[in-house]
């Protein structure tokens, strides 16, 4: 298997800006509003003084001492709880995404994923199969699903949380799309059923969390289950015309791990690339935000 190693960062984006990073935090602008949030990878010093962060931010997420993944938003300036952001690329993809402050510091969008939306849109557009079947696992609020649908794919969107599937539907409608198939299910159980049924997909998108729960409490631990999941994905990926995009965010994972997983589970791996996704702040500091592996037969 020959592959290209890349470090990818989204290009200029009118509605998004990573202003500064450091002190285990990041300061970002989403549309008209600026948020400061925890960021475990930002172990260096901030460039701007603390007073400037507080002056700029509309809201700050304060972590709970007992649970660093949960907390609450402190409102520093007037802003709505819900707002929208747009993303567009030169190939014609346009997304309108709905954002909101949640108790888990997330707002419904991971900006570094814009490079993956571009890849999906471009790859699906050149797929030899008209309206290729694409499965998006751990699909969260669905920007990748909407991008795939906008390119003409027949999309199945799966997540274990009903509320974020509803959020995804809003993103589809706001982006002027329709026809995505929604599934609230455990990802592993679903793909095993698809394999037993002999169903095939031309494209599979995976963005698994480090830890998670299925709708019935099924336990997901990335390092324990990702190898088995990819084995099953190999069974349901179309042998002739196919692509796969794997994205993972774990502080202990490198893209070499993803490459080894793909190499051991898929017979045909062409046009492969892997590496890091990152965002660059206004002071040229590069914030790593996950790894990816992608390949396609066309």
Tokens of 9: 């960062």
How confident is residue 63, by pLDDT bands cut at 50, 70 and 90?
confident
Asked if 146 and 93 count as a contact pair (C-beta separation under 8 A), the reply is: no
161: in domain: yes
Say if residue 265's pLDDT is above 80.
Answer: yes
Instruction: Report if residue 85 sits inside a domain.
Output: no
Instruction: Copy the structure tokens of residue 220.
Output: 């997901």
Please report, in angstroms and rounded to a whole number, the separation of the first and last CA atoms in the chain: 15
What percentage of residues in the chain have a pLDDT greater than 90? Answer: 92
Is 64 inside a domain boundary? no
Alpha-carbon distance of 131 to 137, in angstroms, equals 18
pLDDT of residue 224: 94
In a domain, 170, yes or no: yes
Confidence category of residue 1, pLDDT binned at 50, 70, 90:
confident
Give me the mean pLDDT over the 244-252 stretch. 91
Residue 30 host element (H or E): strand 25-30
Domain assignment of residue 186, yes or no = yes
pLDDT tens-digit profile of 141-197?
999 999 999 999 999 999 999 999 999 999 999 999 999 999 999 999 999 999 999
Q: Cα-flanking dihedrals φ and ψ of residue 50, to 5°?
A: -55, -35
The pLDDT score that the predictor gives to residue 162 is 96
Residue 122 lies in a domain: yes
- pLDDT number for residue 225: 96
Position 252 confidence tier, pLDDT thresholds 50, 70, 90: confident
CA distances to 40, 70, 98, 255, 257 from 101, in Å:
19, 12, 11, 31, 33
Spatial CA neighbour of 275 closest among 260, 261, 256? 256
Whole-number pLDDT of residue 70? 81
Mean pLDDT of the chain: 96
d(CA 39, CA 219): 25
pTM: 0.96
Could you give the angle at the alpha carbon of 136 between the alpha carbons of 133 and 141, nearest 5°?
130
> Per the structure, how many domains does the chain have?
1
Could you give the 3-state DSSP secondary structure of residue 162? helix
Asked whether residue 54 is assigned to any structural domain, the reply reads no
Asked if 145 and 55 count as a contact pair (C-beta separation under 8 A), the reply is: no
Give residue-wise pLDDT tens across range 3-55. Answer: 999 999 999 999 999 999 999 999 999 999 999 999 999 999 999 999 999 99
Q: Which domain holds residue 232?
A: 3-9+108-296
CATH number at residue 268: 3.40.50.150
Q: Is residue 100 part of a domain?
A: no
- Tell whether the model's pLDDT for residue 68 goes beyond 70: no
Q: How confident is the model at residue 251 (pLDDT cuts 50, 70, 90)?
A: confident
């Amino acid at each position: 298997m020959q592959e290209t190693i890349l470090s990818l960062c989204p290009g200029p984006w009118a509605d998004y800006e990573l202003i500064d990073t450091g002190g285990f935090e990041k300061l970002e602008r989403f549309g008209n509003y600026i948020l400061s949030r925890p960021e475990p990878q930002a172990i260096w010093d901030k460039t701007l003084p603390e007073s400037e962060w507080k002056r700029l931010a509309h809201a700050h997420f304060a972590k709970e001492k007992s649970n660093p993944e949960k907390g609450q938003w402190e409102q520093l300036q007037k802003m709505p709880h819900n707002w929208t952001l747009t993303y567009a690329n030169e190939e014609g993809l346009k997304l309108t995404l709905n954002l909101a402050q949640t108790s888990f510091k997330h707002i419904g969008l991971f900006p570094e994923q814009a490079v993956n939306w571009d890849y999906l849109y471009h790859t699906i557009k050149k797929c030899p199969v008209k309206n290729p079947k694409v499965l998006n696992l751990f699909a969260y609020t669905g920007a990748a699903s909407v991008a795939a649908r906008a390119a003409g794919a027949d999309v199945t969107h799966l997540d274990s949380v009903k509320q974020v599937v509803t959020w995804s539907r809003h993103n589809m409608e706001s982006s002027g799309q329709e026809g995505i198939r929604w599934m609230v299910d455990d990802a592993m159980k679903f793909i095993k059923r698809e394999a037993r049924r002999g169903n095939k997909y031309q494209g599979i998108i995976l963005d698994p969390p480090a830890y998670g729960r299925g709708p019935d409490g099924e336990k997901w631990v990335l390092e324990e289950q990702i190898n088995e999941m990819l084995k099953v994905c190999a069974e349901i990926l179309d042998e002739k015309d196919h692509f796969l995009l794997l994205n993972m965010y774990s502080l202990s994972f490198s893209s070499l791990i993803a490459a080894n997983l793909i190499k051991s589970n898929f017979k045909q791996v062409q046009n492969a690339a892997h590496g890091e996704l990152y965002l660059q702040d206004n002071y040229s500091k590069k914030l790593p935000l996950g790894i990816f592996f992608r390949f396609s037969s066309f």
